Amino acid sequence: MVKLPKVLATSVVRSTHQGESHGGAYLVDLASARVDQVLDWNTSGISWEGRGADRGLRGIAIHNEYVVLAASDEVFIYDGAFELRDSVRNRYLKHCHEIHLHEGSLYLTSTGFDSVLRLDLDSGRVEEGWTVRAEGWFGKLYRKGALLRPRLEAFDPNTDGGPVPGDTTHINSVWVDETGCYLSGTGTRHLFRIEGSNLERYAALPTGTHNARPFREGVLCNHTRSDAVCHFDKRGRISAAWPLPVFAEDRLEQADRPADHARQAFGRGLTTWGEDVVIGGSSPATITAYRWREAAPLQMVNITMDVRNAIHGLEIWPF
């Protein structure tokens, strides 16, 4: 038997209305299937005046005794009891998706600026930024499948000289380890690695991925377009796949569900437990644990049957 961990999950409620919950954060014990909601974004006590209109919690990182949660244009820092302690904003952070912690620095995706930012958690200052952009005629060729590489440009996120808003590569995933900073988006067709001033292709990927990261000599990701968690080799060939759960339609909460905004088995949120357990999130808010190369789930915990409620971030809970 595999002893499964607790995970912290965030969710975003798609197609929501004013006055309704825009998602929250949940502690989920995968061993017992117990779920505790630790934050409701609509009643979190945060004043939204002067902040972005986009709500909902996204990427997660855990630093010492603090829990770091990303929203669209702001990073919130909570203690272990989920009391808000601090927040950080930057002019170049917009539509943040995933975040990743490495050696005291928090790396944040900024989809609205085609960028990745590095936040020093000790100082609370955003120190560096990199833009990965494919625009103009180059962008048109790139999106048609030309074997081109987006342009990498470093910038100072504390000045006005950074990039203009734009979403040409839809960067949604970042992963950093001792070998470099890896990033990808729904349309990049590769997991890229920043190597000094160069942008290198680490591995080929299909379009429509989230949460891509190096894993077992390849890339582990949510292949959202195929409703599965997948592992690809570096040439982009699929080597393992775990289908995300699909429920009978009569079990779903159908209220106000535009087809282009919310659907079942939308895969988002991904973490691992050791080398043999893969844990993925999907909508309606469900967390599923799989053993490596076994398609049948080890455990599945459903939080709500509201199909608009989509898991976004997943992280192993260490406390």
How many Å apart are CA 219 and CA 128, to the nearest integer? 26
Task: Kindly indicate the confidence band of residue 44, based on its pLDDT and cuts at 50, 70 and 90.
Answer: low
**Domains of the chain with bracketed CATH:** 6-316 (2.130.10.10)
- The confidence score (pLDDT) of residue 13 equals 79
Q: How big is the chain by its Cα radius of gyration, in Å?
A: 19
List pLDDT tens digits, range 295-316. 899 999 999 998 888 899 999 9
pLDDT attached to residue 70: 93
Q: Is the pLDDT of residue 255 over 60?
A: no
DSSP SS3 for 277: strand
> 272, 317, 268: which is closest to 59 by C-alpha?
268
Contact 96, 72 (CB under 8 A): yes
Provide the mean pLDDT of the chain.
87
> H helices of 129-212, where?
136-143
The pLDDT tens digits of the residues spanning 160-211 come to: 999 999 998 889 999 999 999 999 998 788 999 998 889 999 999 998 899 9
Give the pLDDT confidence of 75-112 residue by residue, as tens digits.
999 999 999 999 999 999 999 999 999 999 999 999 99
Token pair, residue 79, equals 């203690």
Residue 218: strand pairing partners: 215
Cβ–Cβ < 8 Å for 165, 127: no
Q: Assess whether pLDDT exceeds 70 at residue 257.
A: no
**How much is the pTM?**
0.91
**Which residues touch 49 (CB under 8 Å, ≥6 apart)?**
none
